Structure 1
C-alpha cells in the first residue's frame, strides 16, 4: 500500500550543507555525509539532495560527492543539480542513486525528460518546479536558476506538460515560503494534485508535523518535503538534525488520511 512520504531536502553549496530563506542568504549547516548518517539512523522515508550552484555556474554534477552520498545513504536518494544530458543521469543512477531531479534543463528542452526516461526509467525522473506567486495575481510562475529567471509560465500548466513528456514525479517548491517554516501553500498543492496523475511532492514552508499533516489531509498520498524543519531547532535556528519517530509519523499519517 502506498503511503505519504516525509522527506528531508538537503541543499549543497561548495560541497557543504546549507539552508536558504526564499532562495537567498544560504546558512552553512554542516557536512552532508554526517546529515545522511543521522537520517539513516532515524529511518527517513527518502532523501532529496540538490546542488544549488551547479546549474547556475554551468557545472557538471559532482560525481565523486554523489557516489559518497549514495554509498552512505540507506534510504531512496534523489539527486539534482547540473544534470543536462541522459548520459549524466545514467552515470548518477549507476552510482546508486534512485532518482535524478532536473529543472531548468527540462524547461528549456522538454524532450530531455523523454530521453532521460528512456534511459533510466520514468520512475527515476523527477522534475522540480520552483514557483513564486505573481504580484497582484493568483498565478504562480515557474522560476529557474535559483529563483533568478522567471519563465512567466503557470506552474500547473508546466506540471501537466512535464508529465506528458515522461516525468515520473513532480516536486513543487515554493520560493515565497522557502525557509520561513510558516506552512505550505495548501491551495496550490490541492490544484497540483488534481492537475497531474503522477506522484507529487510538496516543498517549501514546512515548519511542523502539523503543517505536513495539513498537506496529507487535503492531498492524500503525496510526498511532503522540508529543509529547515529537519536541520534547525528553535527561534534562533540552532543547527540540529531531526526527524519524526516511526510512532510520530504513523500517528500523523493515519490522522491526516482519516481527514482526507
Structure 2
C-alpha cells in the first residue's frame, strides 16, 4: 500500500515563482503555472502552491492565480496556501480548484475559524502550516508577519490532536533553501503520535528523505527549491527511495498547450 508522499512546492511572491532562502532572499524562477505543470508531468504525489506574501499584505488569497492553475487540468492533487482569512475564502479556494488548503496566519489569528473550515470542508482538506525553530526555550512557532516566535498554542495543538486538521506541515523556516539542513528534531514538537506530519525546509538529499519517511508519524516530505535544479528531479528522488512505500516514479511526457 502507498502510504508516503513526495510533495512538490511552488513558492510564489509578487505573482512569480521564486527560489526562497529562509524566506528572506529570493531568486526568480518564472511563471508559477509552468512549474506546476512540470511537477504534474514529473509525478509529484501532491503539489503545494504557496503564495508567501499574501498574509503579510493582508491581500487575501490569490484567486486569480489559483484559477489559472486550475484551468491547466492537472491530475495531481493541489494544495493552496496563502492569505486565507476565513472559512468563506477557504471554501472559495476549493471551489476554484484546490483539493486542500494549508493555513498559517489564521492559526495565529483565529484558530476557531480554522475549526470551522475543517467542519465545512472536512478535516482531510485542511493542513496546519507550522514554521518552527529549536531554541534554548524549546520549540518555537514563528510568525512571518511580525517575525516573532512563541510557543505553539494550546488551541492549535488541540485542533490537530482532535482531528479538526488532517496534517501538520512542519517547516524548518531557518534552513529553508539550504541543502541538507532540515532539523529532524523539529518533528518532536510535542504533537501526539497520531498526528501525521509533513517535513519541509532544507530537504535536498534522497537519503535524508528516506530517513524522514521511515518515521511512522511522517506522512510526506515537501521539497521546493531542489526540484528546480534538474528536469527529472522528482523521478530521481523516487528511484532513490528504495524500500520506502512511495508511488513509483513515472515519466509522463504530456505536452501542455
TM-score by length of 1: 0.85
1:244 and 2:228 aligned: no
Q: What is residue 130 of structure 2 aligned with on the other side? A: 129
Report the aligned-residue RMSD.
Answer: 2.4
Q: Contact 1:114/1:165 (CA < 8 Å) preserved in 2?
A: no
Q: What is residue 254 of structure 2 aligned with on the other side? A: none
Structure (1 or 2) with the greater helix fraction? 1
Aligned partners of 1:177 and 1:227: how far apart in 2?
A: 12
Q: What is residue 184 of structure 2 aligned with on the other side? A: 186
Q: Contact 1:99/1:124 (CA < 8 Å) preserved in 2?
A: yes
Which consecutive unaligned segments of at least 5 residues does structure 1 have? 234-239, 256-260
1:3 and 2:19 aligned: no
- Which aligned pairs between 1:102-121 and structure 2 lie closer than 5 A? 102-121=103-122
Shift of 1:138: 5.7
TM-score by length of 2: 0.86
CA deviation profile, 1:68-124 (whole Å, cap 9, x unmatched) = 212323211110100011110111101121101111112221101111111111110
- Which aligned pairs between 1:1-260 and structure 2 lie closer than 5 A? 1-72=1-72, 73-134=74-135, 137=136, 139-145=138-144, 148-154=146-152, 160-163=157-160, 164=162, 166-189=164-187, 191-192=188-189, 195-219=192-216, 221-232=218-229, 242-245=233-236, 248=239, 251=242, 253-254=244-245
User: Which of 1 and 2 has higher RCO (CA within 8 Å, sep 6+)?
Assistant: 2
Aligned partners of 1:158 and 1:205: how far apart in 2?
A: 28
Aligned partners of 1:141 and 1:26: how far apart in 2?
A: 24
1:113 alignment partner, SS class: helix
Say how many residue pairs are matched: 244
Aligned partners of 1:119 and 1:172: how far apart in 2?
A: 24
Shift of 1:245: 4.9
Aligned partners of 2:80 and 2:207: how far apart in 1?
A: 27
1:60 alignment partner, SS class: coil
Q: Contact 2:207/2:241 (CA < 8 Å) preserved in 1?
A: no
1:9 alignment partner, SS class: strand
Aligned partners of 1:183 and 1:151: how far apart in 2?
A: 20
Q: Contact 2:170/2:186 (CA < 8 Å) preserved in 1?
A: no
Shift of 1:33: 1.0
Aligned partners of 2:88 and 2:193: how far apart in 1?
A: 27
Aligned partners of 1:76 and 1:129: how far apart in 2?
A: 21
Q: Contact 1:117/1:167 (CA < 8 Å) preserved in 2?
A: yes
Shift of 1:192: 4.4
1:61 alignment partner, SS class: coil
Q: Contact 1:184/1:215 (CA < 8 Å) preserved in 2?
A: no
Aligned partners of 1:254 and 1:39: how far apart in 2?
A: 20
